[in-house]
Every structure is written in structure tokens, then in C-alpha cells.
Structure 1
Amino acid sequence: MTPPPARADTRLVGRDAVLGVLDRLVTRLDDGASGLTVVTGTMGSGRSAVLDWAVARAGAAGIPVAVARCSRRESRIPYATLTQLLATLCPPSRIAELAGGLPSGTRPTAAVARMCDAALEDATGRPVMLAVDDLHLADPDSLRRLISLAERPRSGPVLTVVTSPLPLRHVRSTAGVRDSGRTCPVNTLRLDPLTDDEARTLLASRAWRPAPASAAAVNAVAGGAPAVLCTVADRFAASGPRTRTDALPGLTATARAVWSARALSTAQGLADDAMDVLRVVAAVGHLLDTGGAAAVAGLDAAAFEEAVDALRACGLLAGNGPPRLSRPWFADEVLAGMTPAERDILHLKAAAVRGGGRTRIGTVADMLGAVSGVVRPRTAPDDAQPGRIPADVTADALRHALGESVTEADRARLLLKLAAVEAVTAPQAGDGRLRQIMLRHVTPQTWPVVLHAADLLLSRGDAETTRWMTADVHQRALASIPDAQLRPLRALGRLAWNEKGGPPLGASPPVHSDHPGHPAEAAVLAWNLAVRADDSVRARALARTALAAPAAVPLMCRIAAARTLLCAADVDGGLRSLDAVVVEARRAGAHAAAAQALLARAEAAVRLGGSEDALGALAAATRELPPSSWHALLSPRLTAAEVLALIRCGRVAEAREVAARARVRREDRGVAFAFLLYARAELALIGGDAERALLLLEECGRLLRSRRWLNPMLIPWRSTAAAAHRRLGSATAAAECLAGEDRDAELWGTADAFAGTRSHLYAVLARSGVDVPRAPDEPAESPEPADDRQLTDAERAVAGLVVCGLGNREIAERLGLSTRTVELRLTKIYRRLGVRGRSALVAHLRGGQEND
């Protein structure tokens, strides 16, 4: 037996098991065993590559092979597939002989069938292999003949190998081929999607270079389809050796485009019912259940189920349940192949199925009207404003408008408007639309929309995404957008970086100047100075410059400028600016921006002692944006403000309940988390747990310092820490906290204003029974050093390791404790021995050892 061909084809990566089965079938064919083998798999799974390998394997073994490749174009030509088989099985001279031997008057279609039978008889006693690619596209006449050849006994063995994404029973049913009742051994070989490791192997072997770090993400977009991955690998190889190996956006975009093109080609080869169902799912499937989708498609339950099964077998629809596209973005490609009239008909049918008159189908012009009035305020009853459209109906109409054939600028505006509506009802979907605008619609015509999208994304609190999205957009827009128009985007990126920290991802960060040339940059620089407690005079002047030109400044930059004024003791100016932002944000439908401005107002009221005002502002903020719609990176600030406002109203029990409900993931612990730590510390101190309060405040301070948030006007955490130290008996540490905070406030230039903030804070704590320092300049107590023999054995063990130079984490590992337990024991040791830190503790213990 001739050895099988080498498996060097990269399209066959991960197909060893299937090729092994085919190898055995070819071997058995040479031994006289017939059979029918169906190679199946989703779109792009490599069925044709596997068939090519089987054909080469049979040819290498000296077995005659007839090959046919079916297509949609020839599916209506009688015996088109059989003609291809005949042409590859016989030389032209033999075909002429067979044609000459036919009786006169034989119809052409019957002639092809008789000639094919005669050609197979030529191979009597010898094995023959019939290979048919994409059997589901074969014409019905050829399909019936092929199945008959596979089922009827012959004098010689015949191995029929066919490929199809659809099961054989589905192919037979579609072609109207009845079951003859004769048995035929059928092998079904399914090609599964490639694993991430197999995808890396394919990309590396085809591109002749290491697989990119983004291989797993590319494979997820490609659906594990080797045909798609091969095209991606070719693009990766053509990019040259200097291309970054983690160039994720370009590779995933290629995978997406190739997947979409192949999916469209596959869909167009299916039966008309399947294509009708695909269009319904793409246009209105998200609005309908299974029965509704079938009604819109105009199919009975059996026909609809058969069409859905075919689409799922091809990988175009996902899983079980109501039909949904396996790739949501594929909807754009499907809808692009429909006329506006066809899309209108589907939407009208969907409206009728869902209940008719409730859904308002507007025109594109309607959808591009003013944003105000799109969504009824949450405080209004359903019948309060009959001219307003409910949010879900507005969203449906906007999605319908997006299905129209519109310009790129209009599409970007529709996406922005839909994102504004979804910020309340479906915030994650709204965020996705904002990212879509920033990724796909960066042109001079759409630039104002892109800038507004970046502003709205940051207003949602997702500083992490905003900072790398703005960096990426800035990099791509350098060649087409004037620098003056790029400056507001740079300001938003700087603002996001200030909130989250860390290097931007994906692209180099825009260069920022300390000499702003745009009001938006002035606002962000003012806020940066404010959080660092650096030059309040300049910060105040920059903030006022920014607020004097509101039309040119994004909403989030204006909020930053207003917060700067509040930190700089210009309370009236800061509150007026926040109120102006709220009005404009509501007019623009920017609910998240309005909520952020109201949150900043509530925080200012907490610092100024206006607890009821704070609760009122928080209630307005949650009316703008329900708590469930706040981003995880921002919600800790909302919770902290509510807790502090409730404490100042004397409703401590309610404050504890609110704080207990807050759950923050580790990856979401940005600057906003520091506000929540501070609020929990106040609760712990009021509850008598000064040690826990001190730990929370130290973590709050560490987090703020790591972001260079040094201004005590933001969070007076050291004033509260001083009260905790006093309760623990360490007046010296309390005095140090107060002195350091007073020094920062004086350097910032708001010593008097901060004294008032601290006075309000201490009044609240005193009402709750906390012994607070009476004055910032109160002399520190100097307790007598205690004998270290007063320490417990556990504390002595910790102290001994401190003297040896070990850090808290190392001590915890050595003693089998948590780091927090070590910190608690050290706090008790400092208090008992009257020392003020680790170095003082080491000096104290070493001095005692020398005296001994």
C-alpha cells in the first residue's frame, strides 16, 4: 500500500483523528469494503481540505477517484454534479464512446445518468471513490442518483465521501429524496472548532513566525474555523517581522471580516426558508420569541425548526432556545443585503406580532431629531407626559433606524442616541455602542460624535476603558483631525488616567502640556492641581477659564473644573457650575453625566454639613441613573456619599445597611473605592472599633497617595485617623495626623475652609460618642514607655521578627497569620509600648536588650 500523503497542509491542523478514520476507510476500500462517509462541520471548519486529503490519499493508493464540487449556481441544473463526476472519472475519449452507444432519442438528463452507470461498470471488480464537496448544494437529480449508487450493491466496492454542514437526513429531505429502505453503512465525521492551542499552532506554522499573543481572542472571533484562521495567518505573515505580535485589533478585524464573508456565502447556499429565518433573526430576532420569529418569517413550526436547525448546523445561529445570531455583529452584514422596504416589512410584522400599536416605527429623520424628550423622566407617572415615548419603544425604533441605509455620520449619531437611551435601561449595551462609535467612525465628519461618545463613556465611570480607547482614537485620528479638535479628546484621556492610573493600553498616550491651549485642557489641568494640592490660585483661575467657555468643554471636564472650585473654597461658583452641567446633561439625554454632577454636589454638601441637601442630591442622581446602572468603578462613590449623608442625619443603622450591601471586586478598586473605605472607617469608629477604623483609613490613604490625591479637601481621612488614634490612647500619633493634614491644607491655601470641614466632621463624631481631638494644636500626650514584658506571647513573637527586619507579609508567612492580623498586633504593640512606628519599636526593644 502506498503511504498516505504528508499532512503539511495547515488547514488540517487538529484534524488527525478524522484523517485517521478516512485513512482506514480507504484501506478497507482496497480490501473490498464499500460505504458512505459524511464529513460535516460548521462554516469554515475545513471540510473541503479534509476531502482534498482523502482524494489525494486514494489517488496515492492507485484508486480511481471521481470528484465533484457543488455550488449554488449549478444546484438547479439537472445532473450537474453527476456530470462533474463523470468528467473526472473518464477520459474524454471514453465519454465520447459512452455517448455514442446510447439509444437514439435518449433525453440528455437520462443520458448523463446512464453514462455514469456505464463508467462505474468499467471499473467492475476494482475499488472506486466518489468525492462530492458541499453535497447540500447538489441538484436533486444528482443527489438521488448518488444515494442510489451508495445504497445498491455493485460488483466492485465504492467509497462515497461527501461534505456538508447539514446532516444527511436534512439534505435528503430538502431535495425530496425518499428513504428506499435499503441499508448503507454511513460514517459521520464531525469537524469540531479548533482549540486555542490548535489555533496557535495553525497561525505559527502558516505565518512562519511565533503565534501572536492575541491568538485566543482571534480564535474566539473566528469560531475555531481553520479557513478563517488561515486568512488571518496570511495577513499576519504579510505584515512583516517588525509588526507587534500582539496586534489584536488588526487581526481580530480580519477574522471578523473573513468570518462574515464566509457566513454570508454559506447562508446564500441554504434553502430559501433558512435565509428568510436568518433575515428575521438579524432584523427583529432580539424582540421576538421562537413563535413570534416563525410568524414573522411566515413559516409553520416544522419548517421553521428545520430552517433553524440548518442555520445552527452551519454555525450561524447560537445554541438552543430562541434563535439568536452566533455573532451579534453579523446582523449588519445580513441587513446590508436587504432593501429598506424589506427591512420595513419585517419591522412592521414584528410590531404586529408584539401587539401592534404600542411600537412606534419612525423614520431616520425622526430618530435624528433632538435628544431632549426621547425618554420620559423616571419620576413622572406613565400618563404624565403623553408626548414622550417610553425608553424601550424609543430603543426599538432607533435599532430599526440603524437598519436603514444611512450615511456614516447619521449612523454614528443614531448609535450615540441609542447609547444615551440604553444608559438607563441597558448600560452595558450602551457602553458597547459608544465603543463602536470610537472604533469604527473616526472621520472628520463624525468627529463631534466621537468626542461626545468619549465624554459619555467616561461619565459612566469606566475610566479604565476610556483611557485606552481615547489613546487608540487619538493615535488613529492624528492624520485626519486638526490638533485643535484633538485637544478635548486628550483632556478626556488625561482625566481618565487621573482616575484610574497606569499606562494606557494598545496605543501610546497622548502628550499633555502644563500650558493648556484649550478650555478642556485647562479644566483637566486645574483638577490635576487640585487633587495634588498644588497652587490653588492657578487651579482656580484655570477652572474659571474652562467654565467660561462651556460649549467647547466636554461635560466631564466641566464637572472636574467645578470640583476644583469646591476644593479651592469657591463653593458658590462650584455649585452653580454643577447645576449648569445637570441642566445641560439632562437636555442632551446624558443621564450618567447628570448623575455624576449630582453626586459631586452631594459630596460637597456632606463636607459642608448639609446632610439633607446631600440626600436630596443623591436621590436626584439615582433618578437620573438607577443604582443598578452605575458602573462598578463609580458605584463605591455613590455608596460612600449615601453612607456619610445618613451618618450626618443620625441614621447610623441605615448607613450600616447601605455599607453592608456594597460589594467591590478587587479589579474595580480605583480611587472611588477610597471614598467607600473612608465611609466604612467612620462607621467602624462610631461603632467603637477604632483599630478597624484605623486600618481602613490607612488603606484609604495608601490608595489616595498612590494616585497622588493629596488634597485634604477631598477626603479628610487623617482627621478621622486622629480620632481613631486618640481612642486607642496614642495622642502623639493623633497630633501628627492633624499637623500633616493642616500643613497640606495651608499649602493648598484653604486652611480656614478646611478647618470648617473638620469642625463639621468632629461635631458628627462627637454626637455619636467618639472622643475627638479638641483642637488641632492640642499638645501630644507622652505616655510612659511600658515594659515589653507586658506584651503577650503572640505580640512578642511579632515584635521579635520586626527587630529582625522582616516586613508584615514575611512575618505573616513565618507565623502562619494573615497580614491584617499582623497589622492589628503591631497597632496594639505600639500603643502598649508608647512608640510611634516600626523604627521606634526597634529602637525601644534594642535599647531594652542593651539595658538587660
Structure 2
Amino acid sequence: MTGLAADPALTGRQECERRLTAMLDAAVAGRPCLATLPGHCGNGQHALVSRLIRAGADRGLLVLEAGAGRAEHRVPYAGVRRMIGSLTGVDPGRETGPGAPPPGLREAVDALLHRPALVVIRDSRWLDAPSRRWLRAFVRRLPGRGVAVLYGGVHVAEEADWLGVRALHDLIPVADVELRDLTGSDVARGIEAALGAAPDAGFTDAASRLSAGRPDVLDDMLRLLRAGRREPVSAAVPELDGAAASAWAERASYVLRELGDDATAALRAVAVCGGLLDLPLVYTLVEPFAMSADRMRAVLDASGLAVADGDRLRIVAPQVTDRLLADLPADERADLHARAAGLAHRAGAADELVADLLLPARPVGAPWAVHRLRQSSGALCRLGRYQRARGHLARALDEPLDQELRTRLGIELAGVEAVTAPEASDRRLTELARLDSSGSVPAAVSAIDLCLARGDADRARRSVLHVLGHGGGLMRERLLALGALADGVRSYPAEQALPGMPALPAPPVDPMQAGAGAWSLAVRGLDRPVVVSLARRALSAQDGEVMPRLAACQALVLADELDDAEAALDHLVDRLRGGFATAVLSRALVARAELHLRRGLIDLATRDGRHAEQVLPMSSWHPLALPQLLSLRIMIDVESGRIAPALELAASPVPAGAEAGPYWPFLLFARAMTAWADGRPSDAAELLHHCGRMLVRQGWPNPALLPWRALTVHVSVQTGDHDRARRMAADEVRLARRWGSRAALGWAELTRLLADTGGAQQGDRDDEGGICDIHEAVATLRRPHGRISLGWALAELAQGQLARGDHEAAQQSVTVAAEIAAGYPAGRLAQRLRPLHDVLRQHAARQAVAAPGSPPEGLLLLHPAWATLSENDRLTAVLAGRGNRTRHIAALLSVSERTVELRLSRVYKAMRLSGRRELRALVQAAGSG
């Protein structure tokens, strides 16, 4: 047997070749022997046996074959008729009576006394009983004769050792030549032999996985691929996948034609269970079969269509599963899945696995089915696998349900569909809010809440007006709250044909009304204390709809109650995370990202922004709400210094109708910020003009909502339009005073100062005028959290202060701005502050040391030890004496806080000072002197 390795169908069979060749050589030498080829269909046995037959003929052996087809299963001696005829010329005829010797046996054995032969038993599945008895008697008479017997096929499927192989060990040599599945290296060699080129790793791995290491399947795959003239590279894996599907389908069809009905039914049960259940449980899904469980397991293993997975079986390829179930009627298939799901449920299988079994099943009509499907859907939502979650929830609706549960499932399904099929989600929410004969007011309220979260305020408003006439009591009050929110964010122009929305009662009756009222007052910049009170009342409620609570959180943000707002948003996000309300969760994450951005915590803002897109991809956002997400992403990129991505995002197209939504001004502002950062102040000014006009038209003048006037001041100063800068600053101050939050007031003060600094010549401005001086503005804005826009205002202000020579005021501005920029050291604000730090550091060095090595005269007169200090120690002492904190000194000098503390310790020790208070007094005295 030569050239074996060159045949792709025989790759990896070199050891088998060696052992079988030795068996043939023994037969030629007159010694009997027997080899078995245990294994399953598709293991390459046919090619190997065919090669062995040719090799035996080349050695002069008489080749005899025994075997029969399925149609001959009950024909006596059909399996050995040709073999007996070849040796004796006798037709065995009918089965002999009890005790009579098998026909032609003695003559056949005598014929082989001096004639070496190879006897091949290809497949014993369909051998008739008389043929089996004849062969059993034949092999027991082999001693003394040069006969090699190759016992192949799926003989392991037999209930007993009918050939008596175990009893032959004492008579003749017996070898088991097991044909194992191919290894990865075997597959690679087979591919190279078949396609004439060495495969890459990706192609080899795919071929091993798709063929399951079966030589026959691999050979069929490569034959199909060779016909398409494809190279064995990773790019050809899709074609290989198609070839595998065809090969497995053909293999399954061939095997199923040969299998009995009982085995086929068992394989179908295995296919449905997918390796989920132990075999004894799988067997309960089919009709009782005649053979034993062990024999059935052997039959299934030998079929080659199932592989062992511990004590369980699973189908080797999805194409085989499809082929197994294709011929089963739809109702039988659905019933089989339902019964399998019931077994899996009772066996304690995981929710997702039970739900997968229920998908193609008939309605079960049991509470556990709905529970399992909902649990699985929730888990899939937490993993971001929304398409499958949608399928499981939709399947739950096929079960018999009471109306309340059906409505709840419909709302959950609409929440998931917001990701995978947003238009279907909108339609489902509209149907749930219609209040037909099967509807309920609470369900309609929940549906309208989700509709608002989607961003379709017009649809929500119409639904509220429709349902108001059907509900009373608490539900009516909740509807009024949702109606107020929808009325405030409806697209412009509003639909004039609709009747007006009833006004909220004053004071609000329900906490959800308090949330809606807080938002309405906040965007108009009215009654900040009332806004805070209403928002806290809304958030203190134990239950209620989500959008009014989210509106209350945003009202607290505008009121500068950021800690309370963040705590409420954290609670809201945790409550929604892993649930079905994807649109609401995404909106809450965007709101929290905007809060982080206000604080200058760009990393946290980026995290929440990305999470919001993972929950609800940008393509699934409603056109009216999409500008909110786009503006957030642009602002994060701008403040991070990533101008190129911000420009690309700002120029990206938006869906039709987005410009009519309430968040369009936010996108215009973000585009203006991008244009300004890109050095296009004229474009920024035009965008800001349209942004402000739309906000005024919507009735949202609060400066805390969007700092478009402040940015207009920056742009106007840069373009030389100082009159417009002062007008915008004056409007900002007026509205900030009306609103009254510290952040708005401080920001307005800095905006006014910036307008005055940029618009007046040095020496012309009145330093005592304006709202307050720079020190008062900084004191107003100094809070535990940073504000990124404030940081930019302070940086610009510091630039003007340095231009006038007011280094001390500039140092105060830069210090506060540095606190904000510390949240994102690589951001654009930090880059903007670096040249200001350099100027201030150089000025501090000149003040601390008049000349290198020469101490300032004032300090030298007040304390002689000053001359003994190093230049770095003296510079640190001067900065500390002027009231700078340790971390600010460290930032100015680009050293660690520990280094600052060590330098000050040396100063205190050398000058015999008790601490920073005495140092400050000494520095101030030296300055006054």
C-alpha cells in the first residue's frame, strides 16, 4: 500500500495502514488473523477498506466480500451467497433446519486450505440471521489457513458480539484498528493534498470545526471547494462553510436511509434537546423501542451524526439537525419541542436553554413557560443580545395569558423592540395606549411613558388626550404629568388641530406632576427654590413613571443641585439596568453623561455615553431625540481635544424631521462649539444665532440649560463684535439673576467680565463696575465639583488678566480652571491652561528671586536665613506665602505635592517658623516693605 498520504480521503491513517498491511502479509505467509474497524459512519472506513482490497489483490490474495442491503435483511444467506458461490459454486438456498450444518461451510473452509484470502465483512447492520451464523462458524475454522478477515462497518451497533470475536483471541490474532477523528494537523495535510496548497491557520481551524474531524465529510467539502478553484485561505471560509453545509446534508440523508425508525426517532429527540438532557430523559420523548438503551446508544454513536458530550449526545452539525427535523410534520415537531422543554424545566436547565426549546414549541399553557421566557429575555437584555430577547418575549405572548399579564409583556416587548425594531416598538406602544376593549388605563400610562422615552412627544401627547377621558383618580393625575412633559417637548410647530393639554394643578397633586412641573419651571428659569422642592418631591416617591423622575433629575441639574441629581440618576440607572426599558435607560445614561460633562469628568461622561449607545444604538434612536445623543458625543470629543472626530460627527447627516425636535438647538450648539474649536468663529456665530432663536421660540431661556449666550460672547470677542458680546453678557446676567443658581450667577459674572475685558481698551474699563470683581466671581463659582465650560471661561479671563499685568488675579483664575481640568489631564482645557501655567511660573520665579542666587531685599531684611535657602525652596515659599494651596503649587511648578511639603519643611526649619501662617505674614510684610 503506497501513496496513502497522497489520497486526501486517507489522510491521518498511516498507523492503520501499517497494522492492516501486516495482517495481509500474515495471510500471505499462511497465518490467519482478524482485524476490526470500530468507529462510526464518516470516519473514512470505506476509502481505507477499498484500498486494503486493492492491496490484497496486488498480493495475490483471493478477495471475498460478505454483506447485504436493507432490502435483503430477511433473505436467508443473502449476506454470504456470493462468498459461498465464489468458493464452492454452491447456492446455499433456504435456511437449514436445526442441528444441520450451514450449507457450503465445509467446502468453503476446505477451499481456503492452500489459498490465501482476504474476507471483508463491510457492514453487518443488514446481515440476515443465517448469514451471521454461517460467518461465525467460518471464522472459528480459520486456524491453519492463510485467511485475513476484516470486520468493518458499524458492527458496534450490535447488541452482542455475534461474530464471536472475543472468543477468537485464543485461536487467532485479533486486532482492533480504531479510526479516530482527524487532528488539526491531519486536516491541514488533507487540505494540502486536495487543493495543492498549504492552508493558513484560519482556514485549517474552520475546516476542523466544520468537518468535526470526519474524513468523509472533509473530503466532500474539499471536493466542492476544489470545483470552485478557491485557495485555502481565511477569506475562503464562507465558501467552506457552504461546502460543509452541503456535505453534512448529504451525509445525513445517506445515514438516515440506512437507520431504523427507532434510531431515527431517537436522533430527532437528541436534535431537539441539543445536548441539554441526559440520554435516559431524551429516550422518554420517543415511543418505546425494542432494543436496549445500551444498544440504542451504540447505534446513535455509530451513525456518525451525533457526538458524545460527557454522558450526553448532541448532533454534530446544524445542517444535520435541519435534515433530521425536515421530514417531521410541523405539529409533531412543535409537540416534541414542547415536551422537551417540559423535561428541561423539570431537570433545572438554565432559563435561556429552556426558552430556546420553547421557541418552536406549541403553546404549553403552563405558568412556568412564561416565567422562563421572561427570565431568559431579561438575562439576554443584560448581555445586550436584544434580538434573541425579543424573540423570547414574543414567544411568551403566544401562551394563554390573562389580560394584565399580556399587557405587561407587550410593554416589555416594546421596550426591547426599541433596539431591534424601533418602528414596531412605536406601533406596539400606540396600540397599548388606545384603550380598546382589552386595554387598561395603567397599561396606557406605562405605554405613554415609554413613548416619551423614545422621544416621540407628539405621539405621546395624542395618546394622553385620548386616554384622559377614560381614566380617573391617580391614573388621571399621572396622565396629566405625562401630558405636561409631552406638551413641553413636542416638535415645533405644534399640531394646532389637537385640543390644548389641561394645565397641571397647583400645587401638584401627584409626585409625578411635581417632576413635570419642576422641569417646566427650570427650562423657563423661574422659581429655583420651588423647582428644587418639586424635584425632590418627585424623586422621593416610591413608584411612578420614569420620564417624570428623569425630568426631576434634569431640573436639579439646572438648579445646580448636582450631588442630589447624580444620586437620583444613579438610582434610576441601577433600577433600569438589565430591564426591558432600553430607551428609558439610554436617556437616563445620556442625562448622567451630561451631568459628568458639566463637572468636567470627561472619562465618566465618555463611559456613560458609550453605555447609552450600547443599550440603544444610534440607528435606533427616534429622529426627534437623536440630536441629544449626537450633541453629547460631539461635546465629549471637543472637550477631550479630539477635534477631527467631532468635526466628522457634526457634519454627519441626521434623519428627516430631527430639526423639528426640542433637542435640535443642542446639536446646533455642539456644532458651534466644534466650529469655534476649528477656528471658524463666523460659522460658530451663525449656528449660535439659530440655536438661540429656537430656544427662545421654545420658551427655554434659562442660561443653565445651554450656555449659548456665553459662547456667543467668546465668539463675538474673537470676531470683534464687542457690542453684541456686551448685549449677550447683559442678557446672561439678567436671566442668571432671575434663576438664582450659584453656577449661573458666577458664570454670568465671568461672561460679563470677559465681554468687558475683550470690549474695552486697557485703562478704559471701570474695575469697580459690573456684577462683581473677579475675586467675587471666583468665590461664587468655587464648588466641590468642576464645570468644564466655567474652566474655559476662566482660561479666557486669565488670558485677559495677564495681558493687563494682573498676575495675581490670573493666578486665581488659572487655579480654579486647573481644578476642573484635573478631571481630564489630556483634554483640551488642560492643553489651553499649559501656556498660562508657564507664564505664571516664570512670573513667580522673577518675583521670588530678583536674580539667580540673589534673594529679594525685603525678605532678606526681615529674615537673614532667607539667603541660605535654595532657589526652588524660596520659590515654593513665596507661592505658599501668597495663599496658594499645596496642590496648586505642585501644579504650577510641575512637581508632586510631597515635594512641595518637603520644601516647605526645609523653609520652616531654616527660618524657625511654626507653619504657613507665619510664612504668609512674613511674605506679606516683605511685599508691603
| TM-score of the pair, normalised by structure 2 | 0.47
Cα shift at 1:399: 0.8
Partner of 2:8: 10
Shift of 1:297: 2.7
Separation of aligned partners in 2, 1:648 and 1:63: 88
Q: 1:606 to 1:457 in 2, by over 3 A?
A: closer
Tell me which amino acid in the other structure corresponds to 2:321: A
Match of 2:293 among 287, 293, 304: 304
Q: Say which SS state the counterpart of residue 129 (structure 1) adopts.
A: strand
Give matches, 1:252-267, under 5 Å.
Answer: 252-267=241-256
Do the aligned partners of residues 204 and 736 (structure 1) sit closer, same or farther apart at CA in structure 2, a change above 3 Å counting?
Answer: same
Partner SS state of residue 121, structure 1 = helix
Give the Cα separation in 2 of the matches to 1:248 and 1:621: 41
Aligned ranges 1:97-496 → 2 under 5 Å:
98-99=90-91, 107=96, 113-165=102-154, 167=156, 170-171=157-158, 173=160, 180=167, 183=170, 185-207=173-195, 214=203, 216-239=205-228, 246-283=235-272, 289-299=278-288, 303-313=292-302, 314-340=304-330, 342-343=332-333, 346=336, 398-400=359-361, 424=378, 426=380, 431=387
Q: How far is 1:252 from its partner? A: 1.8
Could you tell me which of 38, 58, 61 is aligned with 2:59? 61
The structure-2 alpha-carbon separation of the partners of 1:738 and 1:768, relative to structure 1 and needing over 3 Å to count, comes to: farther
Report what 2:38 is aligned to: 40
Is residue 770 from structure 1 mapped to residue 711 from structure 2 by the alignment? no
Q: Tell me the CA shift for residue 622 of structure 1.
A: 4.9
Query: Structure 1 residue 235: deviation in Å?
Result: 2.4
Partner AA of 2:179 in structure 1: L
> Structure 2: any 5+ residue segments left out of the alignment?
365-371, 392-412, 424-454, 461-486, 496-545, 559-564, 620-627, 655-662, 696-701, 708-740, 748-780, 804-824, 842-929
Native 8 Å contact 1:68 1:131 kept in 2: yes
Shift of 1:570: 10
SS at match of 2:176: strand
State the 1:255 CA deviation: 1.6
Question: SS in structure 2 opposite 1:750?
Answer: helix
> What's the Cα RMSD here?
6.7
Residues 607-662 of structure 1 deviation map (CA, whole Å, 9 limit, x = unaligned):
99586997898689657528xxx8xxx99968944854886999x9xx99x99999
**Counterpart secondary structure, 1:187:** strand
> Which of 8, 17, 20 in structure 2 is aligned with 1:19?
17
What is the letter of the counterpart of residue 52 of structure 1?
S
Q: Would the aligned equivalents of 2:272 and 2:340 in 1 still touch at CA under 8 Å?
A: no
Amino acid aligned to 1:194: L
Residue 130 to residue 150, structure 1, CA distance change in 2 (3 Å): same
| 3-state SS of 2:119 partner | strand
- Give the count of matched residue pairs: 573
Aligned equivalents of 1:399, 1:343: Cα separation in 2: 8
C-alpha spacing 1:342/1:107, structure 2 compared with 1 (3 Å): farther
Is the Cα contact below 8 Å between 2:337 and 2:361 reproduced in 1?
yes
Whole-angstrom distance in 2 between the partners of 1:241 and 1:191:
29
Q: Is it true that 1:698 corresponds to 2:640 in the alignment?
A: yes
3-state SS in 2 of match to 1:142: helix
Aligned CA distance change for structure 1 residues 669 and 120 (closer, same or farther; 3 Å): farther
> Is the 2:592–2:608 contact (alpha carbons within 8 Å) kept by the matching residues of 1?
no
Deviation at 1:47, TM superposition (A): 0.7
8 A contact 1:199–1:224 mirrored in 2: yes
After TM superposition, give the deviation of residue 48 of structure 1 in Å: 0.3
- Rounded to whole Å, the distance in 1 between the matches of 2:252 and 2:742 is 64
Q: Residues of 2 paired with 1:130 and 1:24: CA distance? A: 15
Flag the 1:701–1:36 CA change in 2: closer, same or farther, 3 A: farther
Quote the residue 1:625 is aligned against.
580
TM-superposed CA distance for 1:54, in Å, is 1.0
1:75 is the counterpart of 2:73: yes
- Is the alpha carbon distance of 1:128 and 1:421 closer, same or farther for their aligned partners in structure 2, counting shifts above 3 Å? same
- CA gap of 1:119–1:176, structure 2 versus 1, over 3 A, is closer
In structure 2, the partner of 1:688 is none
Shift of 1:300: 8.9
Q: Following the alignment from structure 2 to structure 1, what is the Cα–Cα distance between the partners of residues 641 and 155? A: 60
For the residues of structure 1 that align with 2:641 and 2:16, how far apart are their CA atoms?
58
Structure 1 contact 70–132 (Cα < 8 Å) conserved = no
Aligned residue type for 2:177? L
The CA distance in 1 between the partners of 2:652 and 2:358, in whole Å, is 48
Q: Which residue type is aligned with residue 335 of structure 1?
A: L
Q: Which amino acid aligns with 2:216?
A: A
**Structure 2 CA distance for partners of 1:299 and 1:643, relative to 1, 3 Å:** farther
Q: Say if 1:193 and 1:224, in contact at 8 Å, map to a contact too.
A: yes
Identity of matched residues, %: 17
8 Å Cα contact 1:29-1:158 kept in structure 2: yes
Change (3 A) 1:421 1:32: same
Answer yes or no: is the 8 Å Cα contact 1:395–1:421 preserved in 2. no
Question: Take 1:15 and 1:287, find their aligned partners in 2: how far apart are those partners?
Answer: 34
CA distance in 2 between partners of 1:575 and 1:199 (Å): 68
CA gap of 1:18–1:776, structure 2 versus 1, over 3 A, is same
Q: 1:58 to 1:255 in 2, by over 3 A?
A: same
User: Is the contact made by 1:37 and 1:162 (CA closer than 8 Å) also made in structure 2?
Assistant: yes
Match of 1:750 in 2: 691
- 1:828/1:615 CA distance change after superposition, 3 Å: closer
Match of 1:573 in 2: 491
Q: CA deviation at 1:296?
A: 2.5
Shift of 1:38: 1.8
Structure 2 CA distance for aligned equivalents of residues 833 and 44 of structure 1: 77
Which whole-Å deviations, capped at 9, do the CAs of 1:745-769 have from their partners, x for residues lacking one? 8548436759755559977997643
The separation in 1 between residues aligned to 2:584 and 2:133, in whole angstroms, is 65
Output the amino acid matched with 1:67: E
Q: Distance in 2 between matches of 1:761 and 1:269?
A: 85
User: 1:615, 1:645 within 8 Å by CA — same for their partners in 2?
Assistant: no
Residue identity matched to 2:131: S
Residue 407 of structure 2: aligned partner: none
Encode CA deviations 1:160-200: one digit per residue, 9 max, x unaligned. Answer: 11223453xx4252869796586454322232333455445
Residue 32 (structure 1) shift: 3.6
Where does residue 781 of structure 1 map in the other structure? 798
C-alpha separation between the residues in 1 aligned to 2:24 and 2:144? 18
The structure-2 alpha-carbon separation of the partners of 1:619 and 1:660, relative to structure 1 and needing over 3 Å to count, comes to: closer
Distance in 2 of aligned mates of 1:426 and 1:705: 36
Task: Check conservation: 2:278, 2:312, Cα contact below 8 A.
Answer: yes
CA contact (8 A) 2:191 2:222 kept: yes
**Contact preservation (8 Å) 2:210, 2:241:** yes
Q: 1:469 — aligned with what?
A: none
State how far apart, in whole Å, the 1-side matches of 2:828 and 2:683 are: 27
Helix, strand or coil: the match of 2:76?
coil
SS at match of 2:285: helix
Q: Which has the larger Rg?
A: 2
Tell me how far 1:264 sits from its aligned partner: 3.8
Q: Deviations over 1:433-492 (max 9, x none)?
A: 999xxxxxxxxxxxxxxxxxxx999968699xx9xxxxxxxxxxxxxxxxxxxxx9xxxx
* SS at 1:66 equivalent: strand
C-alpha displacement of 1:148: 3.9
Distance 1:742-1:31 versus aligned 2 partners, 3 A rule: farther
772-781 or 222-231, which deviates more: 772-781
1:791-840 per-residue CA deviation (whole Å, 9 max, x = no partner) reads xxxxxxxxxxxxxxxxxxxxxxxxxxxxx99999999987764699xxxx
